Chain A
Amino acid sequence: MIKVRELSFKVGEKKLLDGLSFDAHKGELLAILGANGAGKSTLMKLLCREIRPSAGTITIQGKALADYRLEDLAKTRAVLSQHNTLSVSFQVNELVLMGRYPHFKQKPTEDDFRIVREAMEETGISHLASRDYNTLSGGEQQRVQLARVIAQIYDSPDACLFLDEPTNGLDLLYQQQIMELARKLADRGYCVVCILHDINFASRFADRIMMLKQGKKVAEGLPIEVINCENIHETFSIKVKLMECEGYNCPLVVPATILK
């Protein structure tokens, strides 16, 4: 679905990404972990075509990313960015309808309105439909944005979904809701690529995990394969303890020592 080969991105002499290769498949949730400055955001920007790579290729559905027309790309992948501030405030349903913009020229069709309704139902924000976006709480805003993003690829079952730290700044309940939604979308057949900070969240919800450090891959594989003390120490420079937990197929990660 997504093929990344020998991807590099340089700013001046500094390599933010260095020969990164990986695949992401249909119906899979791939979590990307890494410390600040590991190149996660750069990778996300490259995947979204916000910036062009210095070297290497990205292919989505067998077609080089650079060859897509913007309109077609918008129907092939949707992106939930980290910062979503509105310059002027919109009603929630107007904002979710924006997700349908790639699909209609001037007038939305009945189909577009139906998809907007269904996307809002799915993210549990139907009751907010006529509220002003700027008056919502952070968690509600994030779900509205997610509804917009889902609406964008609702009728393209082979599409990709890029989530850039979708749980940032949210409380535990909202974090879990967002991740459950992401999981559901992957189960439905989307290819979901998600940057996360929380290792336990990643191992709980993701099919596969990739760990980055200084633009290079540390490890990639099933959570049970990659979540171990060495990899985490290598990626985050911290010492952790692993705890087996009943009902989970992957050990939980807790800090081993408290730093003084």
Chain B
Amino acid sequence: MIKKTGYILLCLTIVLILTMVISSCVGAVPISFSELMSIIAYHTGLSGQQNFESQQAAVFLNLRLPRVILGVLIGAALGISGAAIQGLFRNPLAEPGLIGISSGATLFAVVMIVLETKIFKELTGVLGFYALSIAAFIGAGLTTMLVYRIAMRNGKTIITTLLLGGIAINAMAGAFTGLLTYMATDAQLRNITFWSLGSLGGASWPTVTALLPFVLIPVIGLPFLAKSLNALALGEAQAMHMGINVKVVKRLVICLATMAVGASVAVAGMIAFIGLIIPHILRMTFTADHRLVVPGSALLGAALLTLADLIARTVVAPAELPIGILTAMIGAPVFIYIIITERNKTNL
């Protein structure tokens, strides 16, 4: 079982690297594979030869590479947090976007932009690029706790309550975001629109470095909780009987997952369904074992989002499709498919 898991994770890593290479090569300024290798070799000092045009190197290093890395980070963040949250809520339909976590993060981010409060300015002074991520993280954390309170009863999530709670929170956050949009100036309005659609267009090295810790910590930390999430699938009492400190696990999962969701929302806005589809694909094709699903969702999420972003920036070139639209177009039908299969399985 373990050997198989390692093998699958290795394959997913290879898939991810392939998509990163392809995504680096394709675009308005095409770069061939050998040119790409040459650029990397030249800039890492491995080779003195310059078998590429300087424009290609500039595009790759300043535009494409940060964008590809941003896609990888956000895809990994959304995938892994989706897997973790589904494990925590004991429900394969719990997705950060669906149950209101993303909109909670959005609301806090928008509050920060529009109100331009004194605290935020001071925060920005101290924390720089991290301020918005932290605001979104807090928003995501608060909504998760709220949803958890609403949906949990005697250690079980009630599916309908969970989803209705999500609808309510989405509506509430939507209303406040709408109110702030109404109050916003033109420049702020552009920023807000960008959030509601979701895009990786803002990619640059500073955004990548601002996002990096918020993704790296959950991606490294959450796989260690996979065993506990497996036990939790049996029920909270059962997990406790197996020696798992359910309270601590819950807090850690909420903290790490919302950290990832919050930061990715702060940087790229709402990108829907990644957190729902990716873990589902892994569960359907391989196993529901969180020791595969949690790290696997990070890898596959990263690969899929990089690929989706490649499509988003090339399909209507020179213009660019907001990636949130694309993932929703692909994700919503898959979501419907999941609902139907779940219905047939549980006869709900």
Contact = CB atoms under 8 A, between A and B. Distances in A.
Interface in A30-89: 48-50, 70-75, 77-79, 81, 83-89
B231 to A, nearest CB: 6
A93 B90 CA distance: 20
Interface string A74-112: 110111010111111111011101110110001110000
A177 interface: no
Contacts of A78: 241
What secondary structure prevails in chain A residues at the interface with B?
mixed
A21 interface: no
Contacts of B233: 86-88, 90
B interface residue count range (under 10 / 10 to 19 / 20 to 34 / 35 or more): 20 to 34
B235 A107 contact: no
B235 A81 contact: yes
Contacts of B230: 90, 94, 98, 101
B288 interface: yes
A125 B251 CA distance: 36
Nearest to A50: B237
A188 to B, nearest CB: 20
A87 B243 contact: no
A93 B237 CA distance: 21
Given A74-B242, A87-B90, A134-B345, A81 B237 contact: yes
A98 B227 CA distance: 8
A97 to B, nearest CB: 7
A51 B287 CA distance: 34
Contacts of B142: none
A94 B92 CA distance: 18
Contacts of B244: 70, 74, 101
B227 A101 contact: yes
B35 interface: no
Contact of A91 (B2, B90, B227, B287): B287
Contacts of A93: 1
Given A81-B237, A84-B235, A88-B92, A152 B242 contact: yes
Given A74-B244, A90-B288, A101-B244, 20 more contacts: A50-B240, A72-B243, A75-B243, A77-B241, A79-B237, A81-B238, A83-B235, A87-B90, A87-B91, A87-B232, A87-B233, A88-B288, A89-B288, A90-B233, A91-B287, A94-B289, A98-B230, A98-B234, A98-B242, A108-B2
Interface of B: 1-2, 86, 90-92, 224, 227, 230-235, 237-238, 240-245, 283, 287-289, 345
23 contacts: A48-B241, A50-B237, A70-B240, A72-B243, A74-B242, A77-B241, A79-B237, A79-B241, A81-B235, A83-B235, A84-B234, A84-B235, A85-B235, A86-B233, A86-B234, A87-B91, A89-B288, A90-B288, A93-B1, A102-B242, A106-B224, A106-B227, A108-B2
